[in-house]
A and B are shown apart, each in its own frame.
Chain A
Amino acid sequence: MIGRRELFGATAASLALAKTLTADAAQTAAGNVVAGPGAGLAKPIRGAVQPRGMDGRLVRLPTLDLESEQDFTRGFRLLQNRQLRAASFAAFERVLEREGLDQAAPITVEQLRALIERDPVVNMASKTWLDNQHYTWKTLRDHFHAHADEYLSEMEAADKTGPGTLDIPAKIDVPDYARHEIHIQPGGYVGDPFAGHLYHYGTNSFYVATTLGKNDQDEAHKSSAAKLPLPADGKVKRILDMGCGIGQLTVALKERFPDAEVWGVDIGAPMLRYGHLRANKLGVGANFAQRLAHETGFPDGHFDLVTSYLLHHEVPADITLRTIAEAQRVTRPGGVYYPLDFASGGLKSPPRSMYARWWDHRWNNERWTLEYHSLDFTKEISQRGFSMVKNAEAVIRGYGIRHGVRV
């Protein structure tokens, strides 16, 4: 089971806690970055950064020190999960016991904060978790910015090559809600030219405390792609991955359905550029476009399968509702909509979980997670043109089971 608490770990620390976008994308407006079919990237980038080879499908980090620093942060996450969280949980329980409260106690998160935030054990777990997260981002960011021209040059070259396509409009409005530094990643997904690089190497360690143990080889995304259900008629010619980030699921879907036209859309251009670069290196012809998930620009009924990976808890609730409506519009009748995200449906939970969710929101800078959890996401999908499959199987254990079929 992969829970938000395990995957993004902040809880663990603080409690101890696409107009049509098809193959003719090359006809987009002048000034756009448009990639088309072509040779994949085989050349290493030049300059001070020397390639260190591949670890399976993961490009090894460019220096041994940087690799070791990330190895440390991964190890520290394990320490957090195995020891510091336990200590924090125990401290949390002691506070509740001292106050005569139990897990069923009717208490608000504000009241909890007043009780818990003075506990040194909980606070040490919080502080060290955040420092470890900060260190992950800083070391990665320092490296990529120190060699900025080389890495930007590499992405520039990839922008215009294939086998897949990349469409970044010359002008697009990036809404404020997408500009936050989620997971305290510096620059977030839109403000740093190497947001994709940082996200990829930084979030790999997020999986260390899950049942998967790692995601270096896209284990989570490949597993998800393999398990996503098909339309009843078995027809899968076009697939859309909404809010695709660096396109790990997009690529995995293209690998599962090599004959299908697979699109990943996201508002973060640096994320898409990295995703496109990486897809090229893997020789996977997935297409990427900078679009909002709720304004994809694709024709009505265009896709057989529409999905997303951990998008909705990163956007405001009203954007989630608009995104469901967009999914309804672009999914063909009989097509499948299966967004992958944490289980949701209410903010009432035992004190420890309630405080953990608030902590994740506040200190891991998950700005929209409380809004997400205020929604019954599954119910909202069922009320927007989808028939929910009864007794559907979980694609990822612990996530919401949301197998919608377009009516």
Chain B
Amino acid sequence: MATDSKRPTYTVEAIPSDITSSVFLGNPALDNVVSCLIAMNAEMWATKRRMKVLEALLAKKGVTQAMIEGYVPSAAEAAEWERERDRFIDLAMGPLGNQSFRNISENFPKG
């Protein structure tokens, strides 16, 4: 991801790792599914952890379960939630599109 800032970054070009094109499980699709599992479980844990924060705060403020169930988001909230949803799906399911081809036995590429 390139930055959209015009401020100096003091960076030089790095030599990229080829890790994302590696296949460990014999089938690139299977590797991608495992990547999804890691990401999805991380996202699920983040959600559960946020719920724990919310429940603790709500209980202290007297917010009831019925109030939560009956809540209707505003248009702005709905738009924000959609952005969050898309980020979630990208994190959780994006690896399905990985282009993996490098065999686990391969040495570093020449050059």
Contact = CB atoms under 8 A, between A and B. Distances in A.
A362 interface: yes
Interface string A207-231: 0000000000000000000000000
B5 interface: yes
B17 interface: yes
B76 interface: no
Interface in A121-155: 123-124, 126-128, 130-132, 134-135, 138-139, 141-142, 145-146, 148-149, 152-153
A113 B19 contact: no
A130 B21 CA distance: 12
Contact of B14 (A142, A145, A149, A180): A180
B49 A64 contact: yes
A152 B9 contact: yes
B82 to A, nearest CB: 16
Contact of A65 (B35, B46, B107): B46
B34 interface: yes
Contact of B13 (A124, A191, A195): A191
A269 B10 contact: yes
B19 A179 contact: no
B11 A187 contact: yes
A181 B17 contact: yes
Contacts of A298: none
A127 to B, nearest CB: 4
Majority DSSP secondary structure for residues of A touching B: helix
Contacts of B16: 181
B14 A191 contact: yes
A360 to B, nearest CB: 13
B23 to A, nearest CB: 9
Contact of A153 (B7, B15, B17, B41): B7
Contacts of B50: 64-65, 68
Interface string B83-111: 00000000100000000000011011000
Nearest to A363: B19
Interface residues on B, range: 35 or more
A71 to B, nearest CB: 7
B17 A365 contact: yes
Contacts of B3: 145, 148-149, 152, 193
Contacts of B38: 76, 128, 131-132, 135
Nearest to A156: B7
A120 interface: yes
A106 interface: no
- Quick one: which of A114, A120, A126, A130 has the most chain B CB within 10 A? A130
Interface in A19-44: 33
B34 A135 contact: no
Contacts of A71: 45-46, 49
A190 interface: yes
B42 A190 contact: no
Given A124-B25, A127-B34, A149-B5, A73 B42 contact: yes
B67 interface: no
Contacts of A195: 11
B11 A270 contact: yes
Contact of A174 (B4, B12, B22): B12
A135 B108 contact: no
Nearest to B14: A191
A399 interface: no
Contacts of A168: 10
A64 B41 CA distance: 16
Contacts of A141: 1
A65 B15 CA distance: 30
26 contacts: A64-B50, A68-B49, A68-B50, A69-B46, A72-B41, A76-B42, A117-B104, A123-B25, A123-B104, A126-B24, A126-B104, A130-B22, A132-B38, A134-B19, A135-B38, A149-B4, A149-B7, A156-B7, A176-B15, A179-B12, A181-B14, A186-B14, A188-B14, A193-B10, A195-B11, A365-B19
